[in-house]
Each structure stands twice: as structure tokens, then as C-alpha cells.
Chains A and B, each alone.
Chain A
């Protein structure tokens, strides 16, 4: 059961522009959402998170937006840098011990 979906397998943007990665979920019990970044031959690394009581969380160039009514969240990266090129995973938790991940979006930032 795909409770977390990332419908765009890939995204390409120009350096300095905004990158917007999207994620949809179906389980209304999810109350904590995270974004992870993964480089080849490395494990996923935590990027940013948001609680369901908020609709926005910002950390430097990274901002996550949560729209609970639409069951949708997005990650904005501004400005995008070539070093941001990686696979980005959206993840969600309902307070229990199993975190659900989307299939990932491969971001390529072109110089």
C-alpha cells in the first residue's frame, strides 16, 4: 500500500533557480513528515521535518510546506546548487515505529 507517493521520478533545474519537490499521502493519521536526501553509495540523510500542527518550516535554503486538507507536502530549495543533486525521499510517521517513505525524486541541478 503506497501511503506516501512521490509522482515525479526526476526533476531538473538550473543552478540558482527554485527546486520544488512534491509528495502526497493518503493516511490522515500521519502527524510528522520528513525529507531525506540520498547520494549514491550513502544512506539517506535527514534534511528537514514538519509537524502536522504547522504548515511551514524553514531551514536556510530549505522550506517544507504542509497542506493537510490536500494531504500534500512540498520541499522548496532556493537557490538550488549543483551539490543539491541527489535523490530526495519524502517520509511520514503516525507516531508509531514504522516510517513510510515515498519512491523518491531524483533532482539534478545544472550549472
Chain B
């Protein structure tokens, strides 16, 4: 059974460009969360979606947006890229969106902004 899959694995963009990252959750998982991990820090919460609805949003600017599709896959979009957006973007899926919830992470998409 496939785990959480993310694409692309690596990408390089320049300042001002836009990027779209994709995530497919574990089969049966209806919740998808996005995290940003900057070098030397722990993952920081960006968004959570459950049943195609946004259930939570972290302290990130409006340049960051996401959506979830009917098959529960998800996309994270970042507009007007800044150098500080360079990070590993992790997608995680789970059965529920709250409570004693274990997140299963993908391997991440490493974004470099030049």
C-alpha cells in the first residue's frame, strides 16, 4: 500500500515566480496537512484540509494557498516567491482532522528560491 506521495521532489524557482506542490494521501485518509520545514527547525503548520474544506491555517501570508480535491489529493500554491520560502514542504495525511491524531508524512518537496 502506497504511503503519502509528493511531487516534485526537488525544484528550483526564482524570486517572484509561483510554485505548485502536489500530494496524494494514504488511501482512506481524508485529511491532508501541509508543513514547511526550514533548515535547522521543526516542521511548521501551514494548512489542514478535511473533506475538501479548510480546517486550519497557520501563520503564513496570503501568498500561500491550498486546496483539496474530491479524491482527497491536495495542492499547495505559493505565489510571488521570496528567498525565505526556500524550505522542505511536507505533506501529511491522517484519518481525522483533530484529536489524538497521528500524521503520516511524505518525503517532501524541496524548494529552492534563487
Contacts and interface: CB of A to CB of B under 8 A. Distances in A.
Chain A contact patch, size range: 20 to 34
Interface stretch (B37-45, B64-72, B78-86): B37-45
Contact of B48 (A6, A98, A103): A98
B102 interface: yes
Given A41-B107, A43-B108, A96-B56, A101 B44 contact: yes
Contacts of A103: 40-42
Contacts of B102: 34, 46, 49
Nearest to A5: B42
A49 B104 CA distance: 13
A43 B90 contact: yes
A63 B75 CA distance: 36
Nearest to A101: B42
B58 interface: yes
Nearest to A36: B105
Interface in A89-107: 89, 91, 93, 95-104
A62 interface: no
Given A51-B100, A102-B42, A97 B105 contact: no
Contact of B43 (A6, A42, A97, A101): A101
A95 B107 contact: no
29 contacts: A4-B42, A32-B99, A36-B105, A41-B107, A43-B92, A43-B107, A43-B108, A44-B90, A44-B105, A46-B102, A89-B43, A93-B101, A95-B98, A95-B99, A96-B98, A97-B48, A97-B50, A98-B58, A99-B33, A99-B45, A99-B101, A99-B103, A100-B45, A101-B42, A101-B43, A102-B42, A103-B40, A103-B41, A103-B42
